[in-house]
Amino acid sequence: MKNYIKYDPWKIIEEDFHPKYNKISESIFSLGNGKFGQRGNFEEGYSGQTLKGNYVSGVYYPDKTRVGWWKNGYPEYFAKMLNAPDWLSFELLIGDNAEKLDLSKCKVENFSRVLDLKRGVLERSFTAETQSGRQLEIHATRFLSIHRDEIAALKYTIKPLNFTSSALIISGVDADIKNEDSNYDEKFWTEISKAADKDIYVIAETKKTKFRVCSAVKHSLLFLAEEKVLKEKFAAKKYSIELTEGKVFTFIKYAAVTSTMYYNEDEILNKTLEVLNSAAQSGFELLLKEQENAWDEKWKESDIVIEGDIAAQQGIRFNIFQLNQTYTGKDERLNIGPKGFTGEKYGGTTYWDTEAYCLPFYLSTADKKVAHSLLVYRWKHLKKAIENAEKLGFTNGAALYPMVTANGEECHNEWEITFEEIHRNAAIANAIRIYIDYTGEKEYLSQYGLEVLIGISRFWAQRVNFSEEKQKYVMLGVTGPNEYENNVNNNWYTSFSAVQNLKYTIEAIDYVKKNSPNDYERIKKECNFDEKETEKWQQIIQNMYLGYDEKRKVFIQNDGFMDKELIPVSKLDAKVRPINQHWSWDRILRSCYIKQADVLQGIYFFENQFDTETIKRNFEFYEQFTVHESSLSSCIHNIIAAKVGLYDKAYQFYLNASRLDLDDYNNDTCDGCHITSMGGTWMTIVQGFGGMRVKDSMLSFNATLPQKWQSYSFKIRHKDNVLKITVNKSGTKIERLSGNPTKVLVDDVIRDI
Ligand code: BGC
């Protein structure tokens, strides 16, 4: 755990320069606007430890799969989030010896890097002394506009403290970029065109997928002479400038980043230059004002205020900020990658994380179109999910959604996950239920949902087999959310969820049949669906094998779990944690240690099917063996702990979740922030401490106040209402900020709001 980020309710602050944490800081100080994003790289370049990272939504590259032993069924490629052309970086070369400003070669003082969450602005300032003794004071302000989501702007001021000299600024666009995780050390971009005349731009194209990205920049500065610099995949201007001791020199860079996701090849350049010129004409200050106003609007809907605990306050706002800058729901082709715009690790853009951990945040804090877009994304991928299942031998429209994808095709390639971690299907089906329960929009079923549910139910019906031995349906060879055990039989979470999916699909069929008969006939035809299929589904529902330990009165995570040496995590030597960095995989697989919520994930999803005693027993049994080595673990544990009254534990899980990246708990924030688990962090406050549930389409709150906090409040959009929930020592207060009179359950009593 690191502890170098200063506490502040609205800002993320790094004071003093920490070169050895620079890659962590670059992740934390990332910016995005839903369309494109970038890591918190230094504008003037840096030769120390850095991962230069720019990312454009929806733009990916199918990197050829690289595995030791090829297994039939593996995808041919892995869709990587592409590190994209860099519009930001420039070089400052001072004096006759062209001394480059590079913090890794300077003495740095008064360094501070501040991400202002309220305004969506990143600022950095420092004084640097170069190797030849030149002292400069620098201040940089930049943002990626969420108001004009193709625009970014940077203001960079240079004040020479002890010299007057000529200097050069070389600034433009660099498309000669490589992914750190490229499988064959290959570059994925080719150049289409470039210029550094009146307009400075590079249009680059991805190999194979043929996405084009146009990055254009415009500068505002006082210069003596200018020259163009054109190299392969690089276009810039070299400006000769004069730096005068004690005087501030200001350099402004505007950028427009667009792609063929939104424009045709023949119009992309003109459109890009149009938005760029209009931004430059508006000027930096106006763009900044727009940015502040746009973020103000976002915070009005999604802020959570915690009084009495600044670390907790900063943590939750950082998470909300990242979620809002990663996904805006404007485009149904986009999704939320585990690292968002903050790094490359993991690849692909969509995991089960979206449905299981992110959906509730967008559902409750944004227009319902946003959550709707997330659901429709999967509907659009249904055909590919059916093809994916066919590749593995399934038939008749059975759908297996990919473990990792960018365009609907599977791109993950570890057999024990790709073929076996099939519980992802359950989260996708369950998301439809969550959406409908929350919005009351049952017509979603006839428009989109039912087809997805039928595909998934068909998959479950083929994935189980009837065991003569047990006289039950069993599900063999699976991996549950706990990836620390693979190829297990009868993973309780997967089997239980499959049963819930089958039940819900049957209910959905009945509903659509009754309420939208025409749609029902259309769907039947399109899916080639025969109602007789549900007979087998009913048999599975009645007869699924779900392991139960009579002695301990808990569900059995999977066959064989109770045979393990059951030694609680508390008895493990701290030196071997995290176990995935200290133990062999073989040892981990045979151990009882659980990576993330597994049985408890099922209890969380289908909570209303269990009494509190059952929930508590299972929590106490499984939590003691859980090492939480996935960022997705703490939030589920927080919510269940709060539900069963284990408040101290709930608070600890909250802190782990919300400060995971700020404090680098898992030692891996250098690769990028854990964006999808941030949705889980939001859930810890709203569903964990706030105890929010939907009961018969009514919101219900059973809140608790962590001891350290004086109060907390959050806002919820539900149907046409915006509600503000405040929890303090005297109880739970609910105000209706807009909408119509409604009823809400508070501590199980109906209140008119
Ligand atoms: C977790 C998965 C998750 C993935 C991406 C893994 O470490 O075990 O559940 O989908 O990370 O966040």
pLDDT digits (tens, 9 = 90+) for 140-162: 999 999 999 999 999 999 999 99
Helix/strand/coil (H/E/C) assignment for every residue in 619-683: HHHHHCCECCCCCCHHHHHHHHHHHCCCHHHHHHHHHHHHCCCCCCCCCCHHHCCCHHHHHHHHH
Query: Which atom of ligand 1 is least distant from the CA of 677?
Result: 12
Task: Check if 483 is active-site.
Answer: yes
Ligand 1 pocket check: which of 405, 410, 632 to mutate, most ligand atoms within 8 Å of Cβ? 632
The phi and psi torsions of 13 (rounded to 5 degrees) equal -125, 125
pLDDT tens-digit map of 47-85:
999 999 999 999 999 888 888 889 999 998 888 889 999
CA distance 153 to 88: 9
Looking at residue 307, what is its pLDDT?
Answer: 97
DSSP string, 254-304: EEEEEETTTS-TTTHHHHHHHHHHHHHHH-HHHHHHHHHHHHHHHHHHH-E
CA distance 508 to 524: 13
Q: How far does the centroid of ligand 1 lie from the alpha carbon of residue 384, in Å?
A: 22
Ligand 1 pocket check: which of 81, 351, 600 to mutate, most ligand atoms within 8 Å of Cβ? 351
Residue of 43, 483, 485, 623 with catalytic role: 483
Looking at residue 626, what is its pLDDT?
Answer: 98
pLDDT tens-digit map of 415-453:
999 999 999 999 999 999 999 999 999 999 999 999 999
Looking at residue 345, what is its pLDDT?
Answer: 84
Query: Which atom of ligand 1 is least distant from the CA of 629?
Result: 7
Give me 73's structure tokens.
């069924």
Nearest CA to ligand 1 atom 1: 630
Ligand 1 binding pocket includes 630 (Cβ within 6 Å)? yes
Specify burial of residue 679 (Cβ count, 10 A radius: 0-12, 13-18, 19+): buried
Q: Is 735 helix (H, G, I), strand (E, B) or coil?
A: strand
Ligand 1 binding pocket includes 483 (Cβ within 6 Å)? yes
Query: Which atom of ligand 1 is least distant from the CA of 674?
Result: 12
Query: Which atom of ligand 1 is least distant from the CA of 353?
Result: 10
pTM (2 d.p.):
0.96
Query: Which atom of ligand 1 is least distant from the CA of 424?
Result: 10
Q: How far does the centroid of ligand 1 lie from the alpha carbon of residue 632, in Å?
A: 7
Specify burial of residue 71 (Cβ count, 10 A radius: 0-12, 13-18, 19+): exposed
Looking at residue 184, what is its pLDDT?
Answer: 84
**Angle, CA 401 vertex, CA 400 and CA 405 arms, to 5°:** 145
Q: What mean pLDDT do residues 381-404 have?
A: 97
Ligand 1 binding pocket includes 352 (Cβ within 6 Å)? yes
pLDDT tens-digit map of 205-250:
999 999 999 999 999 999 999 999 999 999 999 999 999 999 999 9
Ligand 1 binding pocket includes 677 (Cβ within 6 Å)? no
Ligand 1 binding pocket includes 481 (Cβ within 6 Å)? yes
Looking at residue 99, what is its pLDDT?
Answer: 98
Q: How far does the centroid of ligand 1 lie from the alpha carbon of residue 630, in Å?
A: 6
Q: Do 490 and 545 contact (CB within 8 A), yes or no?
A: yes
Q: How far is CA 543 from the centre of its chain?
A: 37
pLDDT tens-digit map of 643-656:
999 999 999 999 99
Q: What mean pLDDT do residues 336-345 have?
A: 93
Q: How far is CA 661 from the centre of its chain?
A: 13
Q: How far does the centroid of ligand 1 lie from the alpha carbon of residue 351, in Å?
A: 8
Looking at residue 180, what is its pLDDT?
Answer: 85
Specify the DSSP class assigned to residue 340.
T
Q: Do 51 and 72 contact (CB within 8 A), yes or no?
A: no
Give me 587's structure tokens.
């040892």
Is it the case that residue 1 has pLDDT exceeding 90?
no
Give me 314's structure tokens.
């900063």
Looking at residue 150, what is its pLDDT?
Answer: 98
Is it the case that residue 696 has pLDDT exceeding 90?
no
Query: Which atom of ligand 1 is least distant from the CA of 676?
Result: 12
Nearest CA to ligand 1 atom 9: 481
Q: How far does the centroid of ligand 1 lie from the alpha carbon of residue 631, in Å?
A: 8
Looking at residue 114, what is its pLDDT?
Answer: 98
Q: How far does the centroid of ligand 1 lie from the alpha carbon of residue 664, in Å?
A: 17
Q: How far does the centroid of ligand 1 lie from the alpha carbon of residue 354, in Å?
A: 11
* Mean of all residue pLDDT scores within the chain: 96
Q: How far does the centroid of ligand 1 lie from the alpha carbon of residue 421, in Å?
A: 11
The phi-psi region of residue 691 (left if phi > 0; otherwise alpha if psi is between -120 and 50; otherwise beta) is left
Strands 698-701 and 743-746: parallel
Query: Which atom of ligand 1 is least distant from the CA of 483?
Result: 8
Distances in Å between the Cα of 728 and the Cα atoms of 311, 523, 545, 584, 647 are 18, 50, 45, 47, 15
Looking at residue 598, what is its pLDDT?
Answer: 98
Give me 651's structure tokens.
């608070």
Instruction: Report the DSSP beta bridge partners of residue 714.
Output: 304, 725
pLDDT band, very low/low/confident/very high, at 87 (cuts 50, 70, 90): very high
Q: Do 724 and 734 contact (CB within 8 A), yes or no?
A: yes
Is it the case that residue 517 has pLDDT exceeding 80?
yes
The phi-psi region of residue 453 (left if phi > 0; otherwise alpha if psi is between -120 and 50; otherwise beta) is alpha
- Give the count of beta carbons closer than 10 Å to the beta carbon of residue 704: 17
Looking at residue 2, what is its pLDDT?
Answer: 81
Looking at residue 525, what is its pLDDT?
Answer: 98
pLDDT tens-digit map of 535-571:
999 999 999 999 999 999 999 999 999 999 999 999 9
Q: How far does the centroid of ligand 1 lie from the alpha carbon of residue 226, in Å?
A: 49
Helix axes 633-643, 675-683, angle to 10 degrees: 10
CA distance 77 to 61: 9
Q: How far is CA 394 from the centre of its chain?
A: 31
Looking at residue 67, what is its pLDDT?
Answer: 87
Distances in Å between the Cα of 28 and the Cα atoms of 321, 528, 608, 663, 671 are 11, 49, 37, 10, 10
Ligand 1 pocket check: which of 420, 482, 483, 491 to mutate, most ligand atoms within 8 Å of Cβ? 483
pLDDT band, very low/low/confident/very high, at 583 (cuts 50, 70, 90): very high
CA distance 125 to 113: 7
Q: Do 26 and 53 contact (CB within 8 A), yes or no?
A: yes
Nearest CA to ligand 1 atom 7: 630
Nearest CA to ligand 1 atom 8: 630
Is it the case that residue 697 has pLDDT exceeding 90?
no
